Chains A and B, each alone.
Chain A
Amino acid sequence: MMNPSDSQNDISPKGWRLRLYIAGQTAKSLAAISNLHRIVKKYLPEKIEIEIIDLLENPELAAVDHIIAIPTLIRKSPMPICKVIGDLSSTEKTLIGLQIKPPTNGS
């Protein structure tokens, strides 16, 4: 599901919600989107809400989550809230960044 909304903060705590910020259809952004879908499909429950916010279309939304780097992926729920920045080219590291997998030695 893709919807550029940011108003729901009261979704059930167990439900997964990810928000990905991009800025235009650049190579990095497209890579991040496709990497994200791949990872979500394999590792996360089916019932997940993914918002993709394109700052080129909605620049005013960058301030909401203090977005400095692009792409930025935010795990909104369930807790803990955490961020991963970059094109998500490493599945392993992305899962660690989303705190789905614990950090391994040396990573």
Chain B
Amino acid sequence: MLTTLDIQAPIKMPTGIEGFEHLAMGGLPMGRTTLLVGTSGSGKTIFSAEFLYRGITQYDRTGVFVTLEERPIEIMRNVKRVCWELVELVTSNRLAFVDGSPDPVPTEEVGKYNLEGLITQIRYAVQKVKATLVVIDSIGSLFHQFSDISKVRLEIFRLTEVMRELGVTTLMTAERLDEYGHISRHGVEEFISDNVIVLRNVLAEEKCRRTIQVLKMRGDVHSKGEYPFTISHTGITILPLSAMELTQESSNERIGTGNSDMDTMTNGGIFRDSIFLVSGPTGGGKTLMSAMFAAEGCRAGEHVLLLAYEESREQLLRNASSWGIDFAKWEREGLLRIVCQYPEAMGLEDHLLVIRRAIESFQPRRLIMDSVSAMERVASVRNFREFVIGLTSYMKQARVCSLFTSTTPQLSGGESVTETHISTITDVIVLLRYVEINGILRRGIAVIKMRGSQHDKRIREFTIDGDGMHVGNPFQNVQNIMLGVASVTPIRDADHFDKMFE
């Protein structure tokens, strides 16, 4: 019988799982069954448990967990690792378990049967706690327990009809064997549900990468790609990367870079919420610029977060003090926080989570990432690009002025893959280069890009000494400083190669 619910566009039920609502346009379709498929270990049980846990604790609902593979006690133990106490929900009658796990008692099949026993148990549990949410994990187990495959399929379908009659929102998990291939193992998806979510756990570049994808969702224009997620002690966090819209208004407020010469070159400093890329070879002055940037913030009493992926804390402190900048003091005063990590330590999604947590807890106004190219080394090109998009989106949202350093492969410059990816996202790009002129190695600095503002387009020479960086005069009569081997040109060609940097 058609109900109004069938004719209208599906109403969505928020799950409370971080990032999911954005992906699934509001949540799961209310009153319907959504199929959650994934290979073994892809996170189906955790996702389902979190769906129930948050539905109950955050949205004041009640639920039933139908466990067909593991016993209820095993489920409760597993999710305890993620810090959720299900026992308490059971004793307070907000959560009921239905145990459909394989019975150790020897069983024979003789003649025809159906799965009315299970359906009865579920119906009874739903009515007992007045549930609006149901999880069924996982239907593959039914195919293992019973040999009449076509009957099992029919009964699963009947189960979804019963759930619909009861008006509950159901999340049903199913197993699959390949990460990319048939949707589910037993071909149930065709008739079960118009709503299918896929969880994947792929080994890429020696790292495990978990992704979630909304494969189908009836009546919806949803994000179609795969999105990375992590599982931590707070549960699942989905990083909705490219889907994040940068709708924040840009700030017109300028802040100091830490170097007055640089401030002049940028026509008054950089904007408060910009992302500032400093690119250069090893030893080219990037670390100094970062230190100056940090110092400027600390002197103004701002929180500065320094994410270091290439050098140790001791090295950073030593470098800074060689230029008269006292990191240790600001650390003690709680203005500077240094986080050192090996890029290889975890996957990029986990790095992103660590960074976000650090930003949330420390609330910095300035952030330095030294270097973002270190991350590039440990991931695939796509993975890295997603990481950068996710990171910069988050920085913008959090209104943190960020400085990213990027190491160019050659001393004279050359193409950096990092820059190819992030140059469109960053607001300010500063290039530092070594320049060989007449047998002497000199240093050049140029502001390549500055969104929303005029800037000095000339390539200037700079020096570094015990007091820091000093930007001097523009190179005259020299070309190819940024692009390769500098050569002196008799013609005054300053305007000509400036245009190459527009």
Partner of B107, one of A23, A32, A83, A87: A83
The answer to whether A70 touches B114, judged by C-beta atoms less than 8 angstroms apart, is: yes
**B87-109 at interface with A (beta carbon < 8 Å):** 98-101, 103, 105-109
Q: Is B118 an interface residue (CB 8 A)?
A: yes
The answer to whether A93 touches B120, judged by C-beta atoms less than 8 angstroms apart, is: no
Q: Is A18 an interface residue (CB 8 A)?
A: no
Q: Is B501 an interface residue (CB 8 A)?
A: no
Q: Is B117 an interface residue (CB 8 A)?
A: yes
With A63-B98, A68-B145, A70-B113 as contacts: A84 and B120 at CB distance below 8 Å: no
Partner of B112, one of A68, A87, A99: A87
With A66-B100, A69-B146 as contacts: A90 and B110 at CB distance below 8 Å: yes
Expressed in whole angstroms, the minimum distance between the Cβ of B83 and any Cβ of chain A is 28
Q: How far is the CA of A81 from the CA of B188 in the complex (A)?
A: 33
Expressed in whole angstroms, the minimum distance between the Cβ of A23 and any Cβ of chain B is 4
The answer to whether B118 touches A86, judged by C-beta atoms less than 8 angstroms apart, is: no
The answer to whether B112 touches A83, judged by C-beta atoms less than 8 angstroms apart, is: no
Residues of B within 8 A of A83 (CB): 103, 105-108
Partner of B100, one of A28, A68, A82, A90: A68
Q: Is A89 an interface residue (CB 8 A)?
A: yes
Expressed in whole angstroms, the minimum distance between the Cβ of A69 and any Cβ of chain B is 5
**A1-36 at interface with B (beta carbon < 8 Å):** 21, 23, 28, 31-32, 35
Expressed in whole angstroms, the minimum distance between the Cβ of A95 and any Cβ of chain B is 10
With A59-B124, A62-B120, A67-B121 as contacts: A84 and B114 at CB distance below 8 Å: no
Residues of B within 8 A of A69 (CB): 113-118, 146
Expressed in whole angstroms, the minimum distance between the Cβ of A101 and any Cβ of chain B is 11
Return the chain B residue nearest A67 by Cβ: B117
The answer to whether B124 touches A60, judged by C-beta atoms less than 8 angstroms apart, is: yes
Expressed in whole angstroms, the minimum distance between the Cβ of A9 and any Cβ of chain B is 15
Partner of A82, one of B108, B116, B145: B108
The answer to whether B117 touches A21, judged by C-beta atoms less than 8 angstroms apart, is: yes
Residues of A within 8 A of B110 (CB): 84-90, 93-94, 97
The answer to whether A70 touches B117, judged by C-beta atoms less than 8 angstroms apart, is: yes
Q: Is A40 an interface residue (CB 8 A)?
A: no
Residues of B within 8 A of A28 (CB): 111-114
Partner of B118, one of A68, A84, A89, A90: A68
Return the chain A residue nearest B142 by Cβ: A68
Chain B residue total in the interface (Cβ 8 A): 26
The answer to whether A93 touches B113, judged by C-beta atoms less than 8 angstroms apart, is: no
Q: Is B158 an interface residue (CB 8 A)?
A: no
Q: How far is the CA of A63 from the CA of B98 in the complex (A)?
A: 8
Contact with A along B135-172 (1 / 0, CB 8 A): 00000001001100000000000000000000000000
Q: Is B123 an interface residue (CB 8 A)?
A: yes
Contact with B along A49-69 (1 / 0, CB 8 A): 000000110011011001111
Expressed in whole angstroms, the minimum distance between the Cβ of B139 and any Cβ of chain A is 12
Expressed in whole angstroms, the minimum distance between the Cβ of B499 and any Cβ of chain A is 76
The answer to whether B106 touches A86, judged by C-beta atoms less than 8 angstroms apart, is: no
The answer to whether A71 touches B108, judged by C-beta atoms less than 8 angstroms apart, is: no
Q: Is A106 an interface residue (CB 8 A)?
A: no
Most chain B beta-carbon contacts within 10 A, residue among A23, A66, A87: A66
With A68-B100, A68-B145, A81-B105 as contacts: A62 and B111 at CB distance below 8 Å: no
Residues of A within 8 A of B107 (CB): 82-85, 97
Return the chain A residue nearest B114 by Cβ: A70
Residues of B within 8 A of A32 (CB): 111
Return the chain B residue nearest A87 by Cβ: B111
Residues of B within 8 A of A84 (CB): 107-110
Residues of B within 8 A of A62 (CB): 117, 120-121, 124
Most chain A beta-carbon contacts within 10 A, residue among B109, B114, B116, B123: B116
| CB pairs A–B below 8 angstroms (11 shown) | A28-B111, A28-B114, A59-B120, A63-B99, A63-B121, A68-B100, A68-B117, A68-B121, A82-B105, A85-B113, A89-B110
Beyond A66-B103, A86-B113, 15 extra complex contacts between A and B, CB < 8 Å: A55-B117, A55-B120, A59-B123, A62-B117, A62-B121, A63-B98, A68-B142, A69-B118, A70-B116, A74-B105, A83-B105, A85-B107, A86-B111, A94-B110, A96-B108
Residues of A that sit less than 8 Å from B by CB: 21, 23, 28, 31-32, 35, 55-56, 59-60, 62-63, 66-72, 74, 80-90, 93-94, 96-97, 99
Top 7 closest A-B pairs, CB basis?
A97-B108, A86-B111, A67-B117, A89-B111, A87-B111, A70-B116, A59-B124
